[in-house]
Structure 1
Amino acid sequence: MDRLANTVRPYAWGSTTAIPELLGVEPTGEPQAEMWMGAHPGAPSRIDRGAGPVSLADVIEAAPETELGADAVRAFGPRLPFLLKLLAAGSPLSLQVHPDLAQAREGFADEERRGVPIDAGHRNYKDANHKPELICALTPFDGLCGFRHPAETADLLEALGVDGLKPYVDILRASPEESALREVLTAVLTAEHDAIAETVERAAAAAQRLSAEEGPHAAAYAAYAGIAHHYPGDPGVIAAMLLNYVRLQPGEALFLGAGIPHAYLNGLGVELMATSDNVLRCGLTPKHVDVPELLRIVRFASGDPGVLRPEANGPEEVYDTPIDEFRLSRYVLAPGGSPRPLAARAPQVLLCTSGTVRLRAREGIAVNGSVEADDTGGVGELALAPGESAFVREGEHITVSGDGTLFRATVVV
């Protein structure tokens, strides 16, 4: 096992308090948005196996089969195929979608062929991978996920009483679902700036008023008014009104597949995703919005957000998702409980989110970073406090025990 030293990313939308409170440290006053755990080249974790801190990405690159196992390398290549994060949203993130694997490969190859610099602000595809992701709430967590049924959205928009929204209401009522959603989103994102800004302002004021009244959409109206407060005049505010509002309670999760428009609004969660930086933005951001490419990627179909709750698999609680690049589960441990063995067939990143969790390696297995060895020197323990994490390479047999909550990120092989 290796204790991880991780980087916290200070994005502007980050909470100033959530991650410091979990770590038990004083806030700096600056936003602390994401803590990355893994081997993503943008901010790889660091480990120390006795010769000083080194990048986990470099360690894996030097010996991928030793660190990841032959099965994982055969399935996903010589890299850790997932990135685990603590995500702390203090204000809304951009409204966005991610491509599927074929779209990512095609888009990346096209931009490479056209010579678009990898760090260009208008570049859409930073790599050739897809980016499915899972967010699991540690606190009440607000977000938007997928299109609401057009008829229901027409009712929601009509209740705002804003003249500029009437054409969208008519389209949502009269056209088939896919064409209605496509036509309205296209119209919103390509509208004349001053006209859509005025519509956004009036819609936001009406949403604020309706959020105080009893009704099925009161919480959604409050969320849209909050978004407009952070992004006044942004057409993404109207685009957001096409989406399902959802509030996750601690322990609940959302899986976000390719083409599903979404945005995180507020709260602290554990996020797990395939290793990729590919994002197509719809709004709520000063960054580049490529409307034609976005419209090619979005799936114009309505549906329930699909809140996930963990399913018991013995002592392990698993969040079931339809991909192999990552698998998220958790252990809720009680004092005096029997140590729980973790399978050794794949690489793992383990994150403690409450209490104290002890990782114990079996005899003959190396343990690195704050290790307590027994008298024989053959067994060690690594204690994790909230916000602390560890990397376990393939083939390392360990058990977990303690009084706390442990999230486990691995792959399916």
Structure 2
Amino acid sequence: MTTATHSTTPVYRLQCKTQCYDWGRLGDVSKVAKYAQKSGTTIDPSSPYAELWMGTHPNAPSVLMDQPHASLRDLINDHVELSTEPIYQQYHGDLPFLFKILSIRKALSIQAHPDKALGARLHKEFPKIYKDPNHKPEMAIAITPFEALCGFRPLDEIAEHMKRYPELCELVGTDVANAFLNTVRETGGSSEENDTERSKAALRSVFSAVMNSPDEAVARLLNQLVQRLSTSNDDYIVSKLVLRLDQQYPGGDVGVFAVMLLNYVAMEPGQAIFLGANEPHAYLSGDCVECMAASDNVVRAGLTPKFKDVKVLVDMLTYRYGSAESQKMTPTQFGTYSLLYDPPIEEFSVALTRIKADQVEKHEPLAGPSIMIVTGGNGTLTANDQSFDIEEGYVYFIGANTPVSFNAGSSGSLEFYRAFTLLA
């Protein structure tokens, strides 16, 4: 493999850091661990490898593969044109995005991310908890079969769950439950603005009642529900999720009740969801590529031993509701063999490329920096008449305004994801 300096071509292989959170998949099956091994990370098969971070975030900054004491941020600071002057100035020398691989063994917390205004206020008021003033929209693209909770269900589904699971009605209280059921019955799924606002208010009352329930009531009713479902032949997905999440977070976690209110989304490789500001979600299992604005701000309220900020979460949510399928993104064509996932934000987009032997994919110069990770096969990356070996787990930074082409190698196929910014 050729290792380039900036005088030849602005392409650099990266060594990226892992995060070993409890919910991660163990090293012998984790995609995070598998990819990290390719850049020299020693893997413990019995440890959970949850995330691989690709970018300039100070909590786990990427470094240059052939210069491990030089960070990607140092490189950009020395060569601003790799980022472009406008992006460099706007993001103070950092990349606008953080690119990740996630390998999930058990559910992450019920959470949402603040918008820019709320992020700034939370950082000012509680800087030890909310450590930066930025928003954190994020997108997840499945590498393996992937499960998540994403957004509120259609209201008629929640109403049906109140009938199916009497423990939910008891938890929220008769008055709140009846008011919600009456609203659903009277509005009948109307999209009129007044009806929608009334429905959102009723949904907020239910969610608030669940999340603010006394711990004793949550534990008692969840135990009652689990006992009932354990002795039944109920194969409904929500019932199975209740049992699964209760095993993962025993002792009565209020987040288990959230599966009755939030959409269950199952994705096949290449399918994606976008999680905008102030929308509730939780990843459940699988491996994914994730891209987000460069922030660590998370507001949690269930399925976690970490700090829960229920009041902020209840107040911040939009209470939009809709089907599980409506949560999925529709990619567009990008090049001959690539798909573009382009969320409605400025910080990032992601392209997925899949090519076979004898196929060549060309990406025109992008007016911003990018990072790519190979998730399958092997091949060659060519830029400015220089070629670089690429194989599963390799990560490269590609400077702005660089035309590149890709060829599949001896395996007969090549798959990679490329995150980039086009602010300039």
- Deviation, structure 1 residue 352: 0.5
Alpha-carbon contact 1:95-1:240 (below 8 Å) kept: no
Assess, with a 3 A threshold, how the Cα gap between structure 1 residues 64 and 101 changes in structure 2: closer, same or farther: farther
Q: Which runs of 5+ in 1 are unaligned?
A: 363-378
Alpha-carbon contact 1:210-1:221 (below 8 Å) kept: no
Aligned mates of 2:361, 2:166 — CA distance in 1: 59
Q: What is residue 63 of structure 1 aligned with on the other side? A: 78
Aligned pair partner of 2:24 in 14, 22, 28: 14
Is residue 263 of structure 2 the alignment partner of residue 244 of structure 1?
yes
Q: What is residue 96 of structure 1 aligned with on the other side? A: 111
Q: What is residue 402 of structure 2 aligned with on the other side? A: 396
TM-score (structure 1 length as normaliser): 0.86
Q: What is residue 340 of structure 1 aligned with on the other side? A: 362
- The number of equivalent residue pairs is 381
Which moves more between the two structures, 196-205 or 233-242? 196-205
The DSSP-based 3-state class of the residue aligned with 2:25 is coil
Q: Deviations over 1:262-306 (max 9, x none)?
A: 000000010011100000001111111122212221122212342
Alpha-carbon contact 1:310-1:319 (below 8 Å) kept: yes
Aligned pair partner of 2:145 in 140, 154, 159: 140
Q: What is residue 270 of structure 1 aligned with on the other side? A: 289
The DSSP-based 3-state class of the residue aligned with 1:88 is strand
Is residue 194 of structure 2 the alignment partner of residue 179 of structure 1?
no
Q: What is residue 188 of structure 2 aligned with on the other side? A: none
User: What does residue range 193-342 of structure 1 map to in structure 2 within 5 Å?
Assistant: 193-207=215-229, 212-213=234-235, 218-232=236-250, 233-305=252-324, 306-315=327-336, 316-342=338-364
Aligned mates of 1:392, 1:209 — CA distance in 2: 56
Aligned pair partner of 2:415 in 405, 408, 412: 405
Is residue 391 of structure 2 the alignment partner of residue 385 of structure 1?
yes
- Deviation, structure 1 residue 207: 4.8
Which letter maps to 2:170?
G
The DSSP-based 3-state class of the residue aligned with 1:381 is strand
Assess, with a 3 A threshold, how the Cα gap between structure 1 residues 236 and 341 changes in structure 2: closer, same or farther: closer
Which moves more between the two structures, 326-335 or 23-32? 23-32
Assess, with a 3 A threshold, how the Cα gap between structure 1 residues 240 and 320 changes in structure 2: closer, same or farther: same
Which moves more between the two structures, 242-251 or 303-312? 303-312
User: What does residue range 51-90 of structure 1 map to in structure 2 within 5 Å?
Assistant: 52-60=68-76, 62-63=77-78, 65-90=80-105
Alpha-carbon contact 2:278-2:318 (below 8 Å) kept: yes
Which moves more between the two structures, 229-238 or 69-78? 69-78
- Deviation, structure 1 residue 311: 1.8
Alpha-carbon contact 2:148-2:264 (below 8 Å) kept: yes
The DSSP-based 3-state class of the residue aligned with 1:401 is strand
- Deviation, structure 1 residue 137: 0.4
Alpha-carbon contact 1:150-1:180 (below 8 Å) kept: no
The DSSP-based 3-state class of the residue aligned with 2:119 is helix
TM-score (structure 2 length as normaliser): 0.84
Assess, with a 3 A threshold, how the Cα gap between structure 1 residues 383 and 204 changes in structure 2: closer, same or farther: farther
Runs of 4+ residues deviating >6 angstroms: 23-26
Q: What is residue 155 of structure 1 aligned with on the other side? A: 160
Percent of pairs with identical residues: 32
Alpha-carbon contact 2:365-2:400 (below 8 Å) kept: no
The DSSP-based 3-state class of the residue aligned with 2:242 is helix
- Deviation, structure 1 residue 22: 5.7
Aligned mates of 1:211, 1:335 — CA distance in 2: 49
Q: Which runs of 5+ in 2 are unaligned?
A: 1-10, 184-197
Alpha-carbon contact 2:56-2:62 (below 8 Å) kept: yes
Assess, with a 3 A threshold, how the Cα gap between structure 1 residues 70 and 192 changes in structure 2: closer, same or farther: same
Q: What is residue 2 of structure 1 aligned with on the other side? A: 12
Assess, with a 3 A threshold, how the Cα gap between structure 1 residues 149 and 208 changes in structure 2: closer, same or farther: farther
Q: What is residue 193 of structure 2 aligned with on the other side? A: none
- Deviation, structure 1 residue 155: 0.8
Assess, with a 3 A threshold, how the Cα gap between structure 1 residues 52 and 287 changes in structure 2: closer, same or farther: closer
- Deviation, structure 1 residue 48: 4.4
Assess, with a 3 A threshold, how the Cα gap between structure 1 residues 59 and 361 changes in structure 2: closer, same or farther: same
